[in-house]
Structure 1
Amino acid sequence: MLSTKEKSVHININSTYYGAIAEIGGGQETARHLFQAGGASNTVAKSISAYDKLFSDHFYNQGTSSRYVAEDRLRKMLDYEYDELIEILDKKNTQKFFAFANTVETLNFSKTNQGNGWLGIAVEGTDRYSPNKMFIHVKLHENDTLLQQYTLGTLGINLIYGGLFQWQDPQSILLSLLDNLDTDRVEVDYIYVEGPDMKLVDNRLLNLMLVNNDMTPAIMFDQSGKVQQPSDMLYKKNVIVLRGYFRPINNLGMEFIEDSLDFFKRDENYKPDNTIAFCEISLKYLMQNEKVDEKDFLHRVDLLNMMGQSVMVSKFYRYFQLVKYFGQFKLIKLRIVVGLPAFDKILDSENYTDLRGGLLESMGALFQEHVKIYLYPYIDARSGEVVYPDDDHFSKENKLLWQYLNAIKKILVLKSIAPKNLEIRSEHISELIENGDDSFANYVPDKVFQHIKNNGLFGYNRNNKN
């Protein structure tokens, strides 16, 4: 791994690029590295920090006002700086062009905010007038403004170095973003690439790499499958989360989501445009032989999007970790849809031996003020009867806890689920698909059935049919 100074020297001396650097909110930390390395005249055509909001609007927003630390502002900064290079130097400079920009909110004097920012680079590839672009969003975890500035400078150099020398391989750029850094200092929770040479890059897979490489704990896709930055997607929203394998989404999962939404519509805070339902997949459910099965992952996301669902992938195992993650966003309310078997595991004290407060500590972390659980029953495999949660279902040590959570209305039982759908088992559906048995159509939405059959997903092969 090259040091930040070595990368800066390499950019100045060995690259064939010439460009502009625009930084707002965290000083000119990236440009500083290049100037201190020496030979910056070979690389830097311009360095600017339009720190005043009116100056920023004048250059990058045509004199109007909008959010300053946002992807839209970053895009305008990159477009402006790259277009200016073309306008002034196109006929006078034979080097390739690049533009780097960031717009950042560092820690304020009172330390009452979360440092975060957007960084991006536009790099000339095969088309001088249509550059390839990469955008990332980061959270700054250090509790000191100066340290955050140092981190930004290192991160900026990593992005420029990757953009200039590895622009044909976005995955390598991603993996090098935290060179000379670590996740205690900075978190990269969003990445997006575009451009004439990036048409074959799937941004969903790039973002999955962020989770798989511990660069962020979770990523999100909207109903159309587009990658979304979590803070933007969740700001002042009600959130309903259903965890599962979703291989594929089945009728029971769809009924859970629909019933949960119908239940939540009775809440005074509900509005169609402020409520999001997520199908959340734990990273461990995507692993095959200790590696992520990328095709399998994309198939699951495609089918969920086909059914109008937003998707979340996380590295969380325990439910209270999921709640803690959502707690950093300004949510209105959080509702988690849980089956009774999973809820029994939540109440199992053996799962919390690593916590000093054990089960009670986990309950305090899980049932925060804005959180409730929507609990649904299950079918007893032996009797075939629907088992609803009641006092007799729980062990003696958990009965009082169950009664307390009910008394304060932290748990709401969904009783409208059709018994025939409660019999659905993901393992059984997977077995039918792999055997080419079309009777799995009885357990999944028709569109899902047709898509799996027509495209041979999840091991479906009609030739396997007995």
Structure 2
Amino acid sequence: MPITIQGDKEFENIPSITNKALRINLNENIYGTFAEIGAGQETVRHFFRAGGASGTIAKAMSAYDKDFSDAVYGVEQDHRYVTEARLKKMLAHETNLLENRISREKHPNKIYFTYANTVATIDFAKKYKGHGWVGIKYQVEPQAEFNEIILHVRFHETDARLQQLTLGTLGVNLIYGAYYKYDSPKKLLRYLYDHIDKDQIEIDMINFSGPVFSKVDNRLMSLQLVKNGFTDAVMFGADGNNILAAKILYKKNILALRGSFRPVTKVNTDMYRKSLEIFLNENRVKEDNTEVIFEITLSNLRAEGEIDEEDFMARARLLCNLGHTVMISNFQEYYRLVEYFSRYTKERMGLAMGVNNLIDIFDESYYRHLSGGILEAFGKLFFKDLRVYLYPMRDPETGEFFTSENLKVHPRMKELYKFFKYNGRVVDIEDYNPDILNVFSRQVLKMIANNEEGWEAMLPKGIAQQIKEQGLFDYKSKTIEQS
């Protein structure tokens, strides 16, 4: 057990930023460095002003000049300074100095930390609001292994001074949470917004690592960011770590597939392969510059009004094990998804979907909150360089195939649909596998829960085995059932 960190009790009132800093300062064993670049020393000043900082702050620095920063932390290959790589170098460098310069014989009970941030606040023209990386590397026991919490923020305030103040508050919340809420990462995440409004700053990526977070699944923490309204979308890769959208989407061609993927079926993989083939043959699309995203909207993660986290993790693991990049979003409407991608790229984009999804896009009820209604939404959706790749549907009763040529939209929407269809914005996937058109996720899910036979053949190779081994989607083996 940590010898100096006591579990924090629940407060009826949120402790002030000053009280949080003071509590850290009054712990005689917490000791570390503050390294802040780009927005002043906004976090450490709270600890100086709270009092009792002499036993807590080993050093506070701001290697603000780029040449001096390079001399201290080294030169980045991309010559950028507001990056995750830069932040990690800062954390590693300052932590090494602590360990090398402070005698353990003299201070056997010290638990070290390094807090760092590298940010760019809003520019003079107020065109770019700014963003930054914030992190802490710390121990919870003397001479123990270090843990890390690293997050990326996007500023929404339009004044540099206000952004600096918000960053300082966030920093104190992070350090306080790292020590007093590390055993409850979900609470730690929520408390990052103590004394901060959600419209002031957005946390769009966070990763936990180290021994005290060995059981934390960063994909689940991604879900918490969206669930709590801290950001509209998060992404993570096959390795299970959250990734910054800007890092992989910047100036890229993007093909997105939206679905529940509950579970992922052969239809999903066929749609992915066939739509990608068409997309890569489009003008202005390069294979080595293309990113494919499997997106799950938050509305598809809800069960009886609440998000079923175990259900989410099951879908996420299966998609990741197939090697896909996964996105969790709060975008019910497709045009908001396209707007999000447009933050990062002006290159050609594609959406792969089934017939029912396209019919839903032409449902006016989705756009009642917009003053311009469906026309405003379609202006935002198709104004960009976008194509829809349509996977056919077969009526299970009549056997009729539905494509872009014969799908049925509301009579009021017919002319609008024809306009986009015959302007080349809707492209049929023709080289599909007709043998799997009778596969539906909801049918597979029902068969799994009822322990029926034959569902395994409806899924991509290896997925059925994973569902059985991990007991996903209420699967129970017949051996267990019979016993």
SS of 2:462's equivalent in the other structure is: helix
Instruction: Give the C-alpha shift of residue 97 in structure 1.
Output: 1.2
Q: Is the 8 A contact 2:467 2:475 kept in 1?
A: yes
Partner of 1:193: 208
Partner of 1:397: 412
| Letter matched to residue 319 of structure 2 | L
Partner of 1:267: 282
Moved more, 311-320 or 388-397: 388-397
State yes or no: 1:459 paired with 2:468: no
- Structure 1 residues 216 and 69, CA, compared in 2 at 3 Å: closer, same or farther? same
Partner of 2:256: 241
How many residues in Structure 1 have an aligned counterpart in Structure 2? 465
Partner of 2:318: 303
Question: Where does structure 1 lack aligned partners over 5 or more consecutive residues?
Answer: none
- Structure 1 residues 19 and 224, CA, compared in 2 at 3 Å: closer, same or farther? closer
Q: Is the 8 A contact 2:355 2:407 kept in 1?
A: no
| Letter matched to residue 96 of structure 2 | D
Partner of 1:75: 88
Question: Where does structure 2 lack aligned partners over 5 or more consecutive residues?
Answer: 1-13
Partner of 1:35: 48
1:5 to 11, 18, 33: 18
* 1:176-187 alignment runs, 5 A limit: 176-187=191-202
SS of 2:285's equivalent in the other structure is: coil
CA distance in 2, matches of 1:392, 1:144: 50
Q: Is the 8 A contact 2:294 2:327 kept in 1?
A: yes
Q: Is the 8 A contact 1:101 1:121 kept in 2?
A: yes
Partner of 1:416: 431
CA distance in 2, matches of 1:413, 1:309: 23
Moved more, 36-45 or 16-25: 36-45
Partner of 1:337: 352
1:167-211 deviations in Å (ceiling 9; x for gaps): 333322211111100110001011111112222221111121111
CA distance in 2, matches of 1:178, 1:415: 49
Q: Is the 8 A contact 2:262 2:442 kept in 1?
A: no
Instruction: Give the C-alpha shift of residue 24 in structure 1.
Output: 0.3
2:37 to 17, 24, 29: 24
CA distance in 2, matches of 1:393, 1:171: 45
Partner of 2:79: 66
| Letter matched to residue 122 of structure 1 | K
- Structure 1 residues 433 and 64, CA, compared in 2 at 3 Å: closer, same or farther? closer
1:382-409 deviations in Å (ceiling 9; x for gaps): 3111012226734442222122112332
SS of 1:29's equivalent in the other structure is: coil
Partner of 2:226: 211
State yes or no: 1:252 paired with 2:267: yes
1:243-266 deviations in Å (ceiling 9; x for gaps): 111111101000100011100111
CA distance in 2, matches of 1:188, 1:350: 31
Partner of 1:147: 162
Instruction: Give the C-alpha shift of residue 2 in structure 1.
Output: 1.4
Instruction: Give the C-alpha shift of residue 350 in structure 1.
Output: 2.5
Q: Is the 8 A contact 1:239 1:331 kept in 2?
A: no
Instruction: Give the C-alpha shift of residue 411 in structure 1.
Output: 1.7
CA distance in 2, matches of 1:394, 1:173: 47
| Letter matched to residue 222 of structure 1 | G
Aligned-pair identity (%): 38
CA distance in 1, matches of 2:339, 2:33: 40
Q: Is the 8 A contact 1:435 1:462 kept in 2?
A: no
Q: Deviation above 4 Å: which 4+ runs of structure 1? A: 62-65
CA distance in 1, matches of 2:359, 2:77: 55
Instruction: Give the C-alpha shift of residue 462 in structure 1.
Output: 3.1
* 1:423-442 alignment runs, 5 A limit: 423-442=438-457
| Letter matched to residue 393 of structure 2 | Y
CA distance in 2, matches of 1:283, 1:391: 31
| Letter matched to residue 350 of structure 1 | S
SS of 2:454's equivalent in the other structure is: helix
Partner of 1:119: 134
State yes or no: 1:87 paired with 2:95: no
Task: Report the TM-score, using the length of structure 2 for normalisation.
Answer: 0.91
Instruction: Give the C-alpha shift of residue 354 in structure 1.
Output: 2.0
Moved more, 86-95 or 377-386: 86-95
Partner of 2:61: 48
Instruction: Give the C-alpha shift of residue 129 in structure 1.
Output: 5.6
Instruction: Give the C-alpha shift of residue 127 in structure 1.
Output: 5.7
SS of 1:438's equivalent in the other structure is: coil
State yes or no: 1:312 paired with 2:327: yes
CA distance in 2, matches of 1:147, 1:370: 36
CA distance in 2, matches of 1:121, 1:19: 10
| Letter matched to residue 6 of structure 1 | N
CA distance in 1, matches of 2:470, 2:188: 32
CA distance in 1, matches of 2:137, 2:289: 34
Moved more, 72-81 or 317-326: 317-326
Partner of 1:377: 392
Instruction: Give the C-alpha shift of residue 331 in structure 1.
Output: 4.9
Supply the RMSD in Å over aligned alpha carbons. 2.0
State yes or no: 1:363 paired with 2:378: yes
CA distance in 2, matches of 1:320, 1:64: 36
Partner of 1:137: 152
| Letter matched to residue 32 of structure 1 | R
Q: Is the 8 A contact 2:257 2:272 kept in 1?
A: yes
CA distance in 2, matches of 1:392, 1:210: 37
